[in-house]
Amino acid sequence: MVSKENEDGAVITAWEAILTSNHRDGAGFRNSHWYWVMARTQPRPSAPLLIGASTRRVRARAARTFHSVSAADPCPFCTTVLSDPSCWMYANEHAVAFFDRYPSAPGHMLVIPRVHVSHVLDLARAEVDAVFDLALRCRAACTAPAATIGINDGPAAGQTVPHMHLHVIPRTLGDHPDPRGGVRWVLPETAAYFTK
């Protein structure tokens, strides 16, 4: 409760909880309605009292419109993958890796943060490091001679599940008639830069 004697301290405590919460209880604190309301409506605390977070990071997390997870519209990664460690191939403190349910190629894996955020810019530095650490482990375990590693960051980029995720897709010679340009083919008009 916010007391009159310690109003600023109570707000800072709430923000500290937002910045340090994780998926320890399955659905996680960040998925609750309170988190989204709190992040959008509470005043931003002064930077020196934050737990190593930059003021910019707090502003970015508070200002962005997140996909709010609810019982009517659950996140498939939060409800299925994060709640079932038996499907994980690799895991660390902040992320998990698992096989894609709809693989583009055999061995296609996804890496997701344990916190529910929609965009890569909403991750803390430790979470970014954890996601890329697992991406490297997935790539190292892949027996294919190549891989496409990428993130669809937002609906305009093709993101269909509103939980940030990174794809590691094994590639072999001949799986596409002309693989030159790779991910550039998401915008076909400019993909074939090598022919100009």
User: Which tokens sit at 149?
Assistant: 């590693």
Q: Which of 23, 67, 94, 165 is catalytic?
A: 165
Q: How far apart are CA 3 and CA 93, in angstroms?
A: 34
Rounded to 10 deg, the angle between the 55-63 and 33-41 helix axes is 120
94 is catalytic: no
Report how far apart the first and last C-alpha atoms of the chain are (Å, whole number). 64
Q: In 3D, which of 127, 95, 128 has the Cα closest to residue 110?
A: 95
CA dihedral sign of residues 123, 149, 103, 143: negative
Q: Which sequence positions are flagged as catalytic?
A: 165
